[in-house]
């Protein structure tokens, strides 16, 4: 499983405009519906919001991985959002989140969804990875950081 197979520069938004958890999720779902195979954006939004109500997907060190399953997507769909200011995402460490990976998988699939979350969790443990992602100037830079990290390289 390579995140780079699912994330192109079109899947990345630097400078999220949302100021709270729901607004960020709405913004990411909107991006997902524009660049991924989404048949019903409202169903995806509701699935992600419902999952988030079960427990925050805000992790530590400024990262959140909002995710859900929905029949409104045909395949695993991933988008990335970056907020340099940070947003209260009810993270485990109580700190603002800056880096967001939204994942939506078909209800019939579990493998790729779980593998993608595991890969993200592995990558975000690398301090340099998080810093480079948050400080990236362009979506293309973000793609390069992901590719480099997945190739085991450090810039």
Tell whether 114 is covered by a domain. Answer: yes
Find out whether 18 and 87 touch, Cβ atoms under 8 Å. Answer: yes
Tell whether 138 is covered by a domain. Answer: yes
In angstroms, the CA 24 to CA 16 distance is 7
In angstroms, the CA 14 to CA 134 distance is 9
Residue 14 sits in a domain whose CATH number is: 3.40.930.10
pLDDT, tens only, 107-136? 998 788 899 999 999 999 987 999 999 999
- Please, which residues have CB within 8 angstroms of residue 75's CB and are 6 or more apart in sequence? 37, 105, 106, 109, 112
For 65, the domain range is 3-150
State the pTM of this model.
Answer: 0.95
pLDDT at 132: 96
**Residues of the chain whose pLDDT is less than 50?**
154-155
pLDDT at 155: 41
Tell whether 155 is covered by a domain. Answer: no
Q: Which residues are catalytic?
A: 67
* Burial status of residue 99 (CB atoms within 10 A of its CB: 0-12, 13-18, 19 or more): buried
pLDDT at 112: 86
In angstroms, the CA 83 to CA 134 distance is 7
pLDDT at 67: 96
Overall domain count for the chain: 1
pLDDT at 154: 45
In angstroms, the CA 72 to CA 38 distance is 6
Tell whether 66 is covered by a domain. Answer: yes
Tell whether 24 is covered by a domain. Answer: yes
């Amino acid at each position: 499983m390579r995140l780079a197979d699912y994330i192109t520069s079109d899947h990345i938004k630097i400078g999220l405009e949302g100021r709270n958890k729901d607004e960020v999720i709405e913004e990411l779902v909107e991006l997902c519906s524009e660049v991924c195979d989404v048949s019903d954006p409202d169903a995806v939004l509701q699935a992600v919001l419902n999952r988030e109500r079960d427990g925050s997907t805000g992790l530590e060190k400024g990262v959140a991985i909002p995710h859900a399953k929905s029949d409104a997507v045909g395949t695993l769909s991933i988008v990335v959002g970056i907020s340099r200011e940070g947003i209260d995402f009810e993270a485990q460490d109580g700190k603002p989140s800056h880096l967001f990976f939204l994942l939506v998988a078909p209800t019939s699939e579990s493998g790729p969804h779980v593998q993608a979350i595991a890969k993200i969790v592995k990558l975000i443990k690398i301090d340099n990875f998080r810093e480079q992602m948050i400080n990236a100037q362009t979506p293309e830079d973000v793609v390069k950081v992901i590719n480099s990290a997945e190739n085991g390289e450090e810039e």
